[in-house]
């Protein structure tokens, strides 16, 4: 089965994150070789949790460290890399953590993951100018245990778009 879908980029993000599209566009325009990598908050040598919400059994994954992956809060995939990731997904069994599964797909597809500035997947204290320069903020620090509610996202968005005098990063 084949699909014909032509896109320049795909953004994957959780529904409880703040995304500022103008910052994403600036990032993509200024990043060299932008279509050669998946961009996000790179997680390297992350410990495997054996208990709790993100637990993985030894039977499913016996190693103590996860493969390198981009945090699932939000990342950008160049469209040109989608076919190889799709082919990898047809042969790799699904893994219960979506961002870690994407790391497995990247390995199988020989796709390079790149850490990008502006992917705040573990929170960022609110400052309207900092948020105007952020691509994704997943978990506002004051709310990190609960994620970001839709009401909070709307409140943050309103403050960010009203802020005009910010230094660009």
Q: How many domains are there within the chain?
A: 1
Q: Look at the block and give the residue holding tokens 């993100």.
A: 54
Vertex 42 angle, CA 37 and 44, to 5°:
120
pLDDT of residue 135: 95
- Residue 166 confidence class, pLDDT cut points 50, 70, 90: confident
What letters, b where the CB count within 10 A reaches 16 and e where it falls short, cover 35-52? eebbbbbbbeebebeeee
Output the pLDDT for position 4: 73
Instruction: Retrieve residue 154's tokens.
Output: 């709307």
* β pairing state of 17-19 and 136-138: antiparallel
Q: What is the pLDDT of residue 30?
A: 95
pLDDT tens digits, one per residue of 41-98: 999 999 999 999 899 999 999 999 999 999 989 999 999 999 999 999 999 999 999 9
pLDDT grade, residue 142 (50/70/90)? low
The answer as to whether 72 is a domain residue is yes
Beta bridge partners of 56: none
Average confidence score pLDDT of the chain: 91
Judge whether 157 lies within some domain.
Answer: yes
Is residue 2 in some structural domain?
no
Residue 161 CA to residue 2 CA, distance in Å, equals 41
The model scores a pTM over 0.95: no
Q: Which domain holds residue 107?
A: 9-163
CATH of the domain at 43: 3.90.550.50
**Per the domain annotation, does 168 fall within a domain?**
no
Alpha helices in the chain (DSSP H): 21-30, 82-89, 98-109, 128-133, 150-162
Whether residue 169 lies inside any domain: the answer is no
């Amino acid at each position: 089965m084949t699909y014909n879908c032509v896109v320049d980029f795909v953004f994957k993000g959780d529904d409880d994150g703040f995304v500022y599209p103008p910052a994403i566009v600036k990032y993509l325009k200024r990043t060299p070789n932008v279509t050669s990598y998946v961009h996000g908050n790179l997680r390297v040598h992350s410990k495997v949790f054996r208990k709790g919400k993100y637990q993985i059994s030894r039977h499913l994954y016996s190693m103590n460290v996860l493969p390198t992956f981009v945090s699932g809060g939000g990342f950008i995939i160049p469209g040109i890399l989608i076919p190889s990731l799709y082919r990898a997904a047809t042969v790799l069994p699904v893994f219960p953590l979506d961002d870690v599964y994407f790391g497995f797909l990247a390995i199988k597809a020989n796709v390079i993951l790149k850490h990008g500035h502006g992917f705040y997947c573990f929170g960022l204290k609110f400052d309207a100018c900092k948020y105007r320069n952020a691509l994704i903020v997943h978990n506002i620090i004051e709310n990190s245990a609960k994620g970001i509610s839709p009401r909070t996202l709307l409140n943050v968005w309103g403050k960010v778009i009203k802020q005009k005098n910010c230094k660009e990063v």
